[in-house]
Chain A
Amino acid sequence: MGLITGLLTLPLAPVRGTVWLAQIIQAEAESYEQLDEASILATLEQLETARQTGDFSEEEIEQAEDELVEQLMALRRVGGEETDGRFG
């Protein structure tokens, strides 16, 4: 499990940075029935805004973004089997 999803189980604490980012992601996820592509992209947009406000370090934002991109790719991933025929 990634850093962000691990933090989602922590109790709330007045610590800036990754905990807050985790809450953003959780809040966004909760507003959708499941974490689907639309919610991932929406959360990424929110992170872009967070980047502009300067409340977080570039590293923190990038880390959160990376987690989300991984989830997006996981959603789209086919079974990793070798295929010999044409795809799609």
Chain B
Amino acid sequence: MAVASRTGGYIERPKPSGLADVLEILLDKGLVIDLYLRVSLVGIELLTVDARIVVASVDTYLRFAEAVGRLNIEETGDAEGLPQLMQDMTSGGAKSKTQGALEGVKEKLFGGDDDDDDSSSGQRGRSSSSGSRSRAARSSSGSGSGSSSGSGSGSRSRSRSRSSSS
């Protein structure tokens, strides 16, 4: 959300922390009171060093190589790559995959255009295009950890308008 400033620019307002933000902060940051008591009563590893933090490994390199290799196929207009191409054309690439993932799951559960639940026709239109977006995303195994999700009310409203325009 943004409001116009006196100078004519936009002043963004920050969004409140979602649970993911809260967890990142509350579990890993803040005053640490070093007490044996904390461990024995609570039993939670708080001084955690995430072992999964990226120390680049062979797996990572291979995954990147595969992801880059796939770009080549899509640029030549291969049919499977078309949804990916469409997505890049309409949204410039940076968009919420959350919408796509949710819609893709919805499509899987309810079927695509034939579903007669209470979604509007506009929504149905969006669901079919994001359905193919998520199909492309799923078929590319390498993009697993690349899934992004909507976050921030400012960015969320932007990405939502982008995905509905596709």
Residues of A within 8 A of B (CB): 12-14, 16, 19-20, 23-24, 27-28, 31-33, 36-38, 41-42, 44-50, 52-53, 65, 69, 72-73, 76-88
13 extra interchain contacts, Cβ-Cβ under 8 A, other than A14-B109, A16-B117, A69-B19? A24-B101, A32-B145, A42-B20, A46-B102, A48-B18, A48-B150, A49-B96, A49-B102, A53-B102, A76-B44, A84-B36, A86-B36, A88-B47
Closest-CB distance, B5 to chain A (whole angstroms): 26
Q: What is the size category of the interface that chain B forms with chain A? A: 35 or more
Residues of B within 8 A of A (CB): 18-20, 23-24, 27, 34-36, 38-40, 43-48, 50, 52, 96, 98-99, 101-102, 104-106, 108-110, 115, 117, 138, 143-145, 147, 149-151, 156
In the complex, are the beta carbons of A45 and B36 less than 8 A apart? Answer: no
In the complex, are the beta carbons of B43 and A41 less than 8 A apart? Answer: no
- Which residues of chain A are within 8 angstroms of B145 by Cβ–Cβ distance? 31-32, 38
Pick the contact of A49 from B39, B98, B106, B109 — CB < 8 Å? B98
Distance of A42 Cα from B151 Cα, bound (Å): 10
In the complex, are the beta carbons of B109 and A20 less than 8 A apart? Answer: yes
Determine the residue in chain B with the shortest Cβ distance to A84: B36
